[in-house]
Amino acid sequence: MQDSLYVALSSQLALEKRLNTIADNVANASTVGFRGTGVKFEDVVSGTGQKAVSFASPGDSFLSTAHGSMTETGNPFDFAIQGDAWFGLETPAGTVMTRDGRFSMDENGQLLSIEGHPVLDAGGAPIQLDPRGGPPRAGADGMLLQGDQPVGAIGLFGFEPGPNFVRYGNSGILADREPEPIADRIDVGISQGFLEQSNVNPVLEMTRLIQVQRAFENVAALMRQTESTTDDAIKTLGSK
């Protein structure tokens, strides 16, 4: 009986983690460049043979690799990535990877993210533009021009977040290792005047939320039934 309680408890902990990730996905369904979180669970077996008991693991988080839809804005400081790559940002916490291409140029000519962090070039250095040169034009490879003069290039980086990655802000991911610059790949590039939207499907996430809530209620009912059975057994044995 105690094993069934422990199994049910492990299930509730796993469902709680899934519930939290779904809630976060729904909350960021309109966040530019956001990629949803999923959780992978595995069985943890204790004992062998007929005494083996299977528990739910705490679960490992992973990032959805699906691309969000593209929205045309016409803003020359908006950029969307085509293909599997990330922008790099310099932050107080270290290098952050993001798909949010809402940038701006400050009075000193530095290219900044919407949260005010410097955007990095392929060499990992902040991008410096001419503050008097006006909005840049961007090539598909990220090369930036003001007038006819190249003034820098937006870095594109290959990056695969590991399990239980750490988010930074709404759409950023802290790099747990040095990101690798991407160059000379025809399947990766930049579109100026576009933004990538969140890849979260809110209708699908709400359906999953309902399923998880029902599963949580079923496990809670099972735990109550197990506790009731245990209490009845104690009463029966205690009366003898």
Given a contact cutoff of 8 angstroms between Cβ atoms, the answer to whether 96 and 173 are in contact is: yes
Is 65 exposed, middle or buried (CB count within 10 Å of its CB: 0-12, 13-18, 19+)? exposed
Domain that holds residue 164: 70-196
Same domain for 162 and 225? no
| Residue 171 or 40, more confident | 171
Query: Is the predicted pLDDT of residue 226 greater than 70, yes or no?
Result: no
What number is the average pLDDT over the span 212-240?
63
Same domain for 181 and 76? yes
Same domain for 99 and 160? yes
Instruction: For 87-98, give the DSSP string.
Output: EEEEETTEEEEE
Partner residues linked to 125 by β-bridges:
none
Same domain for 49 and 121? no
Same domain for 139 and 42? no
Same domain for 136 and 41? no
Same domain for 212 and 190? no
User: How far apart are alpha carbons 204 and 21 in whole angstroms?
Assistant: 13
State the residue for tokens 């094993």: 3
Amino acid at 22: I
* Helices (H), ranges, 28-97: none
Same domain for 164 and 118? yes
Same domain for 38 and 90? no
pLDDT tens digits, residue range 90-123?
999 999 999 999 999 999 999 999 999 999 999 9
pLDDT of residue 40: 78
Share of the chain above pLDDT 90, in %: 59
Helices 202-238 and 2-27, axial angle in degrees (round to 10): 160
Same domain for 154 and 107? yes
User: How far apart are alpha carbons 107 and 111 in whole angstroms?
Assistant: 10
Query: Is the predicted pLDDT of residue 238 greater than 80, yes or no?
Result: no
pTM for the full model?
0.80
CA angle 5, 3, 8 (to 5 degrees): 35
What number is the average pLDDT over the span 206-227?
75
pLDDT tens digits, residue range 159-183?
999 887 999 988 999 998 889 999 8
Same domain for 149 and 89? yes
| Residue 40 or 93, more confident | 93
CA 121 to chain centre: 23
Given a contact cutoff of 8 angstroms between Cβ atoms, the answer to whether 14 and 58 are in contact is: yes
How many structural domains compose the chain?
2
The DSSP H or E segment spanning 137 is strand 137-138
Same domain for 233 and 207? yes
Q: If you ran DSSP here, which 8-state letter would residue 120 be given?
A: B
Share of the chain above pLDDT 70, in %: 79
